[in-house]
């Protein structure tokens, strides 16, 4: 059994940044670029979305917040400049401007409301503000993303109430929540359904055109999804990314990996893209067994 992350903790997210896009045309511009419906957003809600190549391959999976006419895309730091450059190619006459910021903090735990009674703890997909203006976004079940200037006094309340943990704990929670982290190493390799983006609410199938929309819709409607994202574990760290059968035949590959705390078993956890017809067989990496672990959502056959 994998150890649950059930203490109340905070983590500075130095490997995560915000790409802000602001201006009078922000919503209409991003509506034609991202896979979810920007018109469904307001300042009290956030949503997962994705940015794709025209062939449907995934370039980024940001959480998006909209405050007024400013959209904030929460992204791994190593792809922020790439996504900004790609989006800027399509600005044309749209009245939008780009900027990059950091200073994000992640909060996790089952008792955040009790630990922070003066703060309006949001449900997943919701956005609230503290009395002094810190922005709280419901990232997933029992996790909150916090952003605001370092001089905000509410940071002290958070620091006093919660135990500090490394960012690896936040990224391990991503794996346990089945949220794919797309970085430079795995950009442009997978289509939306391979990363379960349709299962985490990151795609609207009714919003209209965006980059990759035709491929994604065709895949969904024709039912030709041959690979999906699954969670695996191993007793020891594996060296490579291949997921194989006992005979060495490759049937998938690791997308994300993270060590579990202390002497927990499994010692390492992974998100891996695996062929649907092989997901229930015994899987290995160079002879090391890879055990199947649960996701918080159902993955269809």
As given in the structure block, the two tokens for residue 68 are 């007024």
pLDDT tens across 26-36, in order? Answer: 999 999 999 99
Question: Which CATH class, in words, describes the domain spanning 9-177?
Answer: alpha beta
φ, ψ dihedrals at 146, nearest 5°: -120, 135
CA angle 106, 116, 71 (to 5 degrees): 45
Say which residue the tokens 């918080």 belong to. 296
Tell me the pLDDT of the chain averaged across its residues.
94
CA 174 from centre of chain: 7
Lowest mean pLDDT among 93-97, 134-138, 156-160, 295-299: 93-97
> Can you give the pLDDT at residue 37?
97
Dig out the tokens for 96 from the structure.
């939008």
Give the mean model confidence (pLDDT) for residues 19-25: 96
Q: What angle do CA 278, 186, 63 make, to 5 degrees?
A: 100
Instruction: Judge whether residue 143 has pLDDT over 70.
Output: yes
The residue among 153, 167, 141, 137 whose CA lies nearest residue 9 is 167
Residue 125 vs residue 6, higher pLDDT: 125
Is residue 6's pLDDT more than 90? no
> Where are the chain's structural domains?
9-177, 226-301
140-153: b (≥16 Cβ within 10 Å) or e: bebbbbbbbeeebe
Spell out the CATH class of 226-301: mainly beta
**Cβ pair 56, 191 in contact under 8 A:** yes
pLDDT at 3 over 50: no
Query: What DSSP letter does each residue of the chain carry, written as one string?
Result: -PPP--S-EEEE-TTEEEEEEESTTHHHHHHTTBSS-GGG--TTBEEE--EE-TTSBEEE--EEEEETTEEEEEEEHHHHHHHHHHHHTT-TT---EEEEE---EEEE-TTHHHHSTTS-PPPTTBEEE-TT--EEEEEETTEEEEE--TT-THHHHHHHHSEE--HHHHHHHHHHHT-----GGGTTS-BTGGGTTTTTT---SSS---TTHHHHHHHHHHT---EEEEEEEESS--SS-EEE-TTS-EEEEEEEEEEPSTT-SSSEEEEEEEEGGGTTS-EEETTEEEEEE--SSPPP-
- Residue 1 pLDDT > 50: no
Q: Say whether pLDDT at 2 is over 70.
A: no
């Amino acid at each position: 059994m994998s150890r649950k992350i059930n203490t109340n903790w905070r983590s500075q997210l130095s490997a995560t940044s915000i790409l802000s896009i602001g201006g009078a045309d922000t919503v209409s511009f991003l509506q034609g670029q991202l896979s979810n419906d920007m018109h469904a957003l307001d300042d009290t809600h956030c949503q997962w979305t994705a940015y794709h190549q025209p062939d449907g391959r995934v370039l980024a999976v940001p959480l998006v917040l909209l405050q007024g006419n400013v959209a904030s895309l929460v992204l791994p730091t190593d792809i922020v400049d790439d996504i900004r450059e790609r989006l800027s190619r399509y600005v044309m006459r749209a009245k939008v401007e780009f900027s990059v910021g950091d200073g994000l903090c992640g909060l996790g735990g089952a008792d955040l409301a009790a630990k922070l009674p003066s703060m309006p703890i949001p449900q997943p997909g919701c956005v609230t503000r503290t009395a002094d203006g810190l922005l709280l976004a419901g990232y997933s079940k029992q996790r909150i993303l916090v952003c605001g200037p370092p001089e905000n006094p509410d940071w002290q309340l958070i620091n006093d109430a919660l135990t500090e943990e490394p960012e690896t704990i936040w990224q391990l929670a991503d794996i346990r929540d089945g949220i794919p982290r797309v970085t430079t190493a795995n950009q442009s390799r997978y289509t939306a359904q391979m990363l379960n983006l349709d299962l985490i609410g990151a795609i609207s199938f009714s919003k209209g055109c965006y980059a990759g929309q035709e491929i994604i819709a065709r895949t969904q409607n024709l039912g030709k999804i041959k690979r999906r994202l699954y969670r695996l574990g191993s007793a020891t760290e594996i060296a490579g990314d291949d997921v194989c059968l006992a005979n060495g035949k490759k049937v998938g590959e690791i997308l994300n990996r993270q060590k579990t705390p202390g002497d927990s078993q499994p010692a390492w956890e992974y998100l891996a893209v695996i062929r649907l017809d092989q997901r229930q067989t015994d899987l290995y990496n160079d002879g090391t067994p890879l055990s199947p672990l649960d996701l918080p959502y159902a993955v269809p056959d």
